[in-house]
Structure 1
Amino acid sequence: MGTGSGRRVGRPRVVQRPDRGLQPRAELLAAAAELFTTRGYAATTTRAVAERAGMRQASMYHYVSGKEELLAELLESTVTPSLGCARELLADLARPAEDRLWELCRADVELLCGGPHNLGVLYLLPEVRAERFAGFHAVRAELKDAYRRLIAATAAGGALGKGGLDLRTDLVFGLIEGVILVHRSDPERPVAEFARATADAALRIAGA
């Protein structure tokens, strides 16, 4: 028998797709997020990700190239929404810079800690230093620069020299990204409360 031209590319699924209303690529990302943060990136195989998403390992490669692509997209997903927020706040010159800096800190912490999986812990992976993750590092650098510009626009930041501004930015940005470790040790703390307290602390560090 010949093969019909309407045949779908990819192999059939191993099991029924989980009833989460997600497309296959989104299912793979959800599965990878769960496994990378619970089992660890190195210990998670592509087969485990595929099976968790309800498909054969061979079918997985119809949607993604492998673990690195999944990790790269998960990493960028922890930054790009905050970067969008930062761009809007930078443009909102009608609000005091202190208010805008506080709002960015709050929103960023909620993003890092508010999902079903603590994706921020993926920042700590040694694999993330590889060139493959240059896209993540680029958006992260732009976000950090937005923090720097907002700190510089505050009354206290305007009095700092370049060295002082760079140091305050490093400290504030380090605090925001460091919340992933605090949140991991106290996952029951309400994220909104945690985000507000962290934003308050960030403004004190900035001198605002």
Structure 2
Amino acid sequence: MSTTGRRVGRPRAQQRPDSGLTPREELLEAAAELFTTHGYAATTTRAVAERAGMRQATMYHYVAGKEELLAGLLESTVAPSLVLARRLLSDGTASAEARLWQLCRSDVELLCGGPHNLGALYLLPEVRTEAFSGFRQVRADLKAAYGQLLAATEACGGLDADELALRTDLVFGLIEGVILIHRSDPGRPPESFAAATADAALRIAGAATRVAGWPRAG
């Protein structure tokens, strides 16, 4: 039995400083960098493995391939917002307008935060294939949560189903639209436009923005 205290596993192609990440997390980090800088189609599994400091054969011990890595990265841009949305839906201590504003701001910061513009991966044609149905379902669940919060606002409470669906499409489209802004100006801190985007979403909902007691950025 080993007594060296080193992590047991398949051998790496090169020695790398211990990042504290699991091998799968290292692969996801490598994939995020390569997919967003070189493109998904142009990135090989060998390149991902080498960027993570392991052999290509070793990579398949942790993931099935590029599709699984892309799916994991895509879901990481949606799942935290869905968790927040469900918590906000069950929170009766704040107005629906305030909760919607908070979700919009947080969602923008998630989509545009981090060292890599993962939101830009939404634009890949591969995302429309069956391999990414899990991501699309989580995204649909998040959109439905937006719709529920909109329906609970004073301005949207009396809308019929078609009008509410339109408002939901507009708000959700606005939030995801920041992906293009971030791609054209990656140096702009997400915090600088997250609150403004949330304000715009509330205008679409028909509510005044920044009323007393609403959350602020920061």
Query: Which has the higher mean CA deviation after the structures are superposed, 12-21 or 175-184?
Result: 12-21
Does structure 1 residue 131 correspond to structure 2 residue 117?
A: no
Name stretches of at least 5 consecutive residues in structure 1 with no aligned partner.
Answer: 1-7
The residue that corresponds to 1:5 in the other structure is none
| Alignment partners' CA distance in 1, 2:34 and 2:87 | 34
Could you say what the CA RMSD is over the residues aligned between the two structures, in angstroms?
Answer: 1.1
1:176 match: 175
Identity of aligned residues (%): 75
Distance 1:124 1:190 in 2: 21
Q: 2:193 is matched with which residue?
A: 194
* Equivalent residue, structure 2, for 1:205: 204
Partners of 1:80 and 1:47 lie apart in 2 by 28
Aligned to 1:24: 23
Look up the match of 2:83: 84
Is the aligned partner of 1:162 residue 2:161?
yes
Displacement of 1:17 in angstroms is: 2.6
Asked if the contact 1:9–1:62 (Cα under 8 Å) also holds between the matched residues in 2, the reply is no
Q: How many positions carry a matched residue from both structures?
A: 200
In the alignment, which residue of structure 1 is the partner of 2:60? 61
Q: Does 1:47 align with 2:66?
A: no
Aligned match of 2:109: 110
Separation in 1, partners of 2:167, 2:17: 46
1:18 CA displacement: 4.5
Matched AA of 1:52: R
Displacement after TM superposition at 1:92 (Å): 0.5
Given residue 190 of structure 1, which amino acid in structure 2 is its aligned partner? P
TM-score by length of 2: 0.89
Residues of 2 paired with 1:190 and 1:125: CA distance? 24
Deviation at 1:175, TM superposition (A): 0.6
Distance change (3 Å), C-alpha of 1:18 and 1:133: farther
Separation in structure 1 between the aligned mates of residue 131 and residue 76 of structure 2, nearest angstrom: 16
| TM superposition score normalised by structure 1 | 0.93
Query: Which runs of 4 or more aligned residues in structure 1 lie more than 4 Å from their structure 2 counterparts after TM superposition?
Result: none
